[in-house]
Amino acid sequence: MAERPVAVLRWWTNDLQRVGGLLATLGAEVDGDATREGERWLFANAVLVLTRSTDRRDTGRLELGSGPGEDSPAGAAEARPVLVAIGWATVDMDRAAGDIGGTPSDVPEPLPPDELLGAFSRRIRIGSDPPIVLLEPSTEGRLAARLARHGEGPAALYLGAGGDQDLAQAIRVAGGMTSSPADGPFGSSVLIAGGTAWEPQLVLVTAADAAGSQAATIGR
């Protein structure tokens, strides 16, 4: 029986060591040997390819693969962090829904606003897994800064713990920082602090809210 295809994303960075260390702290696993050009990191339901940026204009860009994805990576996937959703920055949610692959009948589903990123949010039902959440600025916050730097496209990763991990606690134990909890599309969340506003934003969703989101998505 074939494994379920997973999403593949590419993150352009000029600091592979810092970002890779962060992903390791979150519980993601590096797939194979790291190279000078980049690394493949495994999540429970996605693959994130870190690619060394040679152009400062690309640094911090996040891209979603246009193909069908690839087979789920083997191994202890249940212990890896779960990609609950991909946050897609836009200035026009209705247009973006069509651009991504929706149809006129795919009316974006309203979700609670993301207080951490300063954004209104809606989920689109195009059969994607992880789902895509459209994010439109509501303040001059992180999402607005990212749009100004990189334009529309993938901008945030909503993460849930694999197994019984506490991702926010893991970050703090490793000497990192997280924001205070705030409401978001998937309930109470915290933002991993550090980095710039135009880098991909990593938002940690509480275990209960992450599990509920996954169940709701699968049930559609």
Residue with token string 């589903």: 109
* CATH (domain of 65): 3.10.180.10
Largest CA distance in the chain: 48
- Other beta carbons within 10 Å of 139: 12
pLDDT of residue 183: 94
Task: Work out how many domains the chain is built from and give that number.
Answer: 1
- What whole-number distance in Å separates Cα of residue 83 and Cα of residue 9? 11
**pTM assigned to the model:** 0.86
Q: What is the dihedral of CA 9, 215, 122, 160, to 10 degrees?
A: -50
Per-block mean pLDDT, blocks of 10 residues, the chain (220 long) = 69 90 91 74 92 85 71 64 94 86 64 96 78 94 92 94 82 86 93 85 75 44
72: containing domain: 5-218
* Contact (CB, 8 A) for 93 and 111: no
Q: pLDDT tens for residues 137-195?
A: 999 999 999 999 999 999 999 999 877 778 888 888 878 889 999 999 999 999 998 77
Nearest to 146 by CA among 65, 66, 83, 91: 91
Listing DSSP states for 152-214 in one string gives: SEEEEEEEE-STT--HHHHHHHTT--BPPPEEETTEEEEEB--S-TTSPEEEEEPHHHHHHHH
Q: Which residues contact 16 (CB under 8 A, 6 or more apart)?
A: 34, 38, 39, 50, 52
